[in-house]
């Protein structure tokens, strides 16, 4: 399992790459991409891993899990991006060429505004300073949550976050623009839309609905959808395309903030329909009231014109392809972790 396609020519020999949040979903996939496609690069992961500590919504404070990294041979540091001594240690003892910043409170329903701003925004500023000192290009995770219910297709510059998570990501983007003005390094913010794929299982209930519906169906349960799910549309993007965007963002034509989606909105209902086709089932769905109305996104679709033009990004997976590529892994996780 892993990204087999190489997206850049450079072999990255003697290059050192820091991946914050590397024990999480997207960060661990990035780590394996480099290990498999650029074995001469040195990859260092920084992640706080899970400690059992929970937020007021009951979800874990951080989702990093060692099982996402089984087979990874690079260096792993367990630590908090809010720890200034640790960042100083990284500054003195390493020399990074690229920083992929994925660490965050990634839970869109988290209510702790103080922790969210501190972790997602303030620690990011410290990492930007580290990038400047090392002359390392910065690629960081922004989010489609910056758009809230802004009109679709969403474009950079027309944001309306409707939760503190989206607000924190937008604040990262504002900060980045300030740094872009006179930085010698490139800085790229990637606004991922709804990502699904291998190594997301340990995000528990915050994992994508592709995985969650997949497991409901495998358990023989009725897939549980919010009422009106045929009209709740999102731009669902397969992990492989997210990796492509990250790798191409190492040397952008221009620093900036870019949408990372497929450019097509699909309904939650169609996830279930495609999964049932792949899994050979025809279970009846159950429809439940949506408890998140007010802070929920009802229609997202990425405008990816500038991502195509300035990052040379071309999404390769529509939802049928992504789910088909993922379904064996959904079954494996079900057998090994859920049953």
Ligand X SMILES: NC(=O)c1ccc[n+]([C@@H]2O[C@H](COP(=O)([O-])OP(=O)(O)OC[C@H]3O[C@@H](n4cnc5c(N)ncnc54)[C@H](O)[C@@H]3O)[C@@H](O)[C@H]2O)c1
| Binding footprint of ligand X, residue count (CB under 6 A) | 28
Q: Does 82 bind ligand X (CB under 6 A)?
A: yes
Instruction: Report the 3 state secondary structure along the chain.
Output: CCCCCCCCCCCCCCCEEEEECCCCHHHHHHHHHHHHHCCCCEEEEEECCCCCCECCCCCECCCCCHHHHCCCCCEEEECCCCCHHHHHHHHHHCCCCEEEECCCCCCCCCCCHHHHHHHHHHHHHHHHHHHHHHCCEEEEEEEHHHHCCCCCCECCCCCCCCCHHHHHHHHHHHHHHHHHCCCCCCEEEEEECEEECCCCHHHHHHCCHHHHHHHHHHCCCCCEEECCCCCCEECEEEHHHHHHHHHHCCCCCCCEEEEECCCCCEEHHHHHHHHHHHHCCCCCCEEECCCCCCCCCCECCECCHHHHHHHCCCCCCCHHHHHHHHHHHHHHHHHHHHC
Catalytic, 296? Answer no
Q: Does 124 bind ligand X (CB under 6 A)?
A: no
**Please, which residue, 103 or 138, has the CB nearer to ligand X?**
103
Quick one: which segment of 69-77, 138-146, 221-229, 285-293 binds ligand X (CB under 6 A)? 138-146
Nearest-approach distance from CB 67 to ligand X, in angstroms: 12
Q: Does 168 bind ligand X (CB under 6 A)?
A: no
Nearest-approach distance from CB 190 to ligand X, in angstroms: 8
Q: Does 69 bind ligand X (CB under 6 A)?
A: no
Q: Does 312 bind ligand X (CB under 6 A)?
A: no
**Please, which residue, 204 or 276, has the CB nearer to ligand X?**
204
Q: Does 161 bind ligand X (CB under 6 A)?
A: no
Q: Does 103 bind ligand X (CB under 6 A)?
A: yes
Nearest-approach distance from CB 20 to ligand X, in angstroms: 6
Q: Does 106 bind ligand X (CB under 6 A)?
A: yes
Quick one: which segment of 35-43, 187-195, 224-232, 280-288 binds ligand X (CB under 6 A)? 187-195
Contact positions with ligand X (CB under 6 A) in 237-266: none
Tokens of 97: 């060429």
Nearest-approach distance from CB 102 to ligand X, in angstroms: 4
**Please, which residue, 106 or 255, has the CB nearer to ligand X?**
106
**Please, which residue, 144 or 225, has the CB nearer to ligand X?**
144
Angstrom CA distances, 86 to 89, 118, 131, 156, stand at 5, 16, 15, 33
CB atoms within 10 A of CB 163: 21
| Residue nearest ligand X, CB atom distance | 24
Nearest-approach distance from CB 103 to ligand X, in angstroms: 4
**Please, which residue, 16 or 29, has the CB nearer to ligand X?**
29
x-or-dash pattern for ligand X, window 18-57, by CB under 6 A? ---x-xxxxx-------------------xxx--------
Choose the catalytic residue: 33, 124, 147, 165.
Answer: 165
Choose the catalytic residue: 98, 203, 238, 313.
Answer: 203
Catalytic, 165? Answer yes
Long-range contacts of 289-295 (CB under 8 A, 24+ apart): 289/226, 289/227, 290/226, 290/227, 290/228, 292/109, 294/162, 295/109, 295/162, 295/163
Residues with catalytic function:
165, 203
Contacts with ligand X, residue ranges (CB under 6 A): 21, 23-27, 47-49, 62-64, 80-82, 102-106, 119, 141, 143-144, 192, 194-195, 203
């Amino acid at each position: 399992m892993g990204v087999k396609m190489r997206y850049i020519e450079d072999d990255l020999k003697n290059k050192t790459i820091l991946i914050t949040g590397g024990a999480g979903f997207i960060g661990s996939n990035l780590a394996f991409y480099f290990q498999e496609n650029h074995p001469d690069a040195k990859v260092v992961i920084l992640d706080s891993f899970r400690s059992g500590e929970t937020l007021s919504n009951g979800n874990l404070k951080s989702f990093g899990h060692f099982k996402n990294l089984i087979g990874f041979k690079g260096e792993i540091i367990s630590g908090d991006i809010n720890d200034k001594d640790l960042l100083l240690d990284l500054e003195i003892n390493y020399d990074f060429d690229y920083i992929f910043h994925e660490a965050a409170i990634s839970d869109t329903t988290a209510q702790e505004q103080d922790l969210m701003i501190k972790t997602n925004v303030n620690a990011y500023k410290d990492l930007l300073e580290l990038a400047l000192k090392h002359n390392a290009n910065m690629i960081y995770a922004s989010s489609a949550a910056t758009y809230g219910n802004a009109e679709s297709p969403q474009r950079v510059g027309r944001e309306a976050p409707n939760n503190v998570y989206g607000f924190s990501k937008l604040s990262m983007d504002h900060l980045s623009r300030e740094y872009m003005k006179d930085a010698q390094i490139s800085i790229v913010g990637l606004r991922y839309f709804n990502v699904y794929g291998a190594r997301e299982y340990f995000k528990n209930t915050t994992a994508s609905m592709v995985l969650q519906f997949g497991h409901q169906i495998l358990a023989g349960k009725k897939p549980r959808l919010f009422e009106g799910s045929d009209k709740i549309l999102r731009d669902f993007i397969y992990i492989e395309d997210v990796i492509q965007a990250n790798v191409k963002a190492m040397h952008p034509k221009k620093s900036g903030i870019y949408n990372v989606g497929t450019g097509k909105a699909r309904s939650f209902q169609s996830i279930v329909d495609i999964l049932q086709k792949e899994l050979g089932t025809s279970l009846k769905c159950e429809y439940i009231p949506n408890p998140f109305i007010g802070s929920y996104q009802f229609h997202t679709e990425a405008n990816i014109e500038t991502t195509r033009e300035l990052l040379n990004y071309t999404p390769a997976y529509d939802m049928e392809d992504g789910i088909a590529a993922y379904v064996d892994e959904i079954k494996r996780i079900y057998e090994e972790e859920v049953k």
